[in-house]
């Protein structure tokens, strides 16, 4: 697909004799939310780590805007515009929102021969970027640990967007959230998509995927079971693909319909 921001073509990943991915192909377009669904052990984590440069594929190729690339580490992927927000968020709860937002990329001001963290610029940008995502902070000095789970997700997403992500990988961002916090995160995903950024939404929750997804790819035992666009597949069909609906039906038949 020539209009894809990133394509992974026939990706295989072997860990010794274990084949974690076996010919997975996924593409992500600008401004779309591509949902990658699968039950535990389906290969989702291995796939996103391959996309984000943590793992090198055993076979297959990765293309960025049609050009084949090779990531030696996550920094290479970040340089190419691939940002990942993991479940643990890599944040320090006792540090301020500003400190977490700028961690490792702090703006500096010079006074004579000395350089200092430019708190004024950092605070202004942090408050502005969070407001764009619908989060009204009491203060940029507010500790991240005082935010809700959904707000912390939004901090991480906003940080990735501000630092130039073209493709944003979200690793089960709603898995541990309540209904209201989940709604806030899904709204944030919609805002990111509207900026022209491609979103890869990793989830095992079909309802959350259907709320924001444009295309849906199901992983099962390291293989893709196909990709469908919004409107071409129903939530029940996605759930069956994820949960091995055909296998359950066969088992039910062998047990005389007792499941």
State pLDDT tens for residues 205-249: 899 999 999 999 999 888 888 899 998 988 888 888 876 545 545
3-state secondary structure the chain: CCCEEEEEEEEEEEECCEEEEEEEEEEEECCCEEEEECCCCCCHHHHHHHHCCCCCCCEEEEEECCEEECCCCHHHHHHCCEEEECCCCCCCCCCEHHHHHHCCCCCEEEECCEEEECHHHHHHHHHHHHHHCCCCCCCCCCEHHHCCHHHHHHHHHHHHHHCCCCEEEEECCCCCCCHHHHHHHHHHHHHHHHCCCEEEEEECCHHHHHHHCCEEEEEECCEEEEEEECCCCCHHHHHHHHHCHHHHHHHHHHCCCCC
- Looking at residues 44-58, what average pLDDT do you find? 93
* pLDDT (0 to 100) of residue 40: 81
Rounded distance between C-alpha atoms, residue 71 and residue 78, angstroms: 10
Sign of CA dihedral 145, 150, 151, 152: positive
| Check whether domain 4-92+166-254 has CATH 3.40.50.620, yes or no | no
* pLDDT (0 to 100) of residue 65: 92
**pLDDT higher than 50, residue 1:** no
State pLDDT tens for residues 150-195: 899 999 999 999 999 999 999 999 888 888 899 999 999 999 999 9
Q: What does pLDDT average to over the chain?
A: 88
**pLDDT higher than 60, residue 250:** no
Q: How many CB atoms are closer than 10 A to CB 92? A: 13
């Amino acid at each position: 697909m020539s209009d894809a921001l990133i394509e992974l073509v026939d990706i295989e990943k072997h860990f010794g004799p274990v084949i974690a991915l076996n010919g997975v192909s996924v593409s992500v377009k600008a401004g779309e939310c591509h949902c990658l669904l699968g039950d535990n052990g389906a290969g989702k984590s291995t796939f996103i780590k391959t996309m984000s440069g943590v793992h090198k594929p055993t076979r297959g190729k990765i293309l960025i805007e049609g050009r084949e690339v090779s990531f030696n580490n996550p920094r290479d992927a970040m340089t190419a515009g691939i940002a990942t927000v993991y479940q643990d968020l890599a944040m320090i709860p006792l540090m301020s929102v500003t400190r977490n937002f700028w961690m490792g990329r702090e703006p500096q001001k010079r006074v004579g021969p000395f350089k200092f963290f430019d708190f004024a610029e950092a605070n202004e940008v942090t408050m502005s970027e969070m407001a764009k995502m619908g989060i009204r902070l009491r203060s940029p000095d507010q500790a991240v640990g005082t935010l809700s789970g959904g707000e912390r997700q939004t901090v991480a997403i906003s940080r990735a967007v501000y630092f130039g992500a073209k493709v944003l990988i979200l690793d089960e961002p709603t898995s541990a959230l309540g209904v209201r916090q989940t709604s806030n995160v899904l709204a944030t995903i919609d805002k990111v998509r509207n900026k022209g950024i491609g979103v890869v939404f990793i989830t095992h929750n079909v309802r959350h995927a259907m709320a924001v997804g444009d295309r849906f790819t199901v992983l099962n035992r390291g293989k893709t079971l196909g990709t469908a666009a919004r409107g071409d597949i129903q939530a029940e069909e996605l759930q069956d693909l994820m949960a091995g609906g055909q296998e359950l039906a066969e088992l039910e038949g062998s047990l005389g319909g007792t499941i």
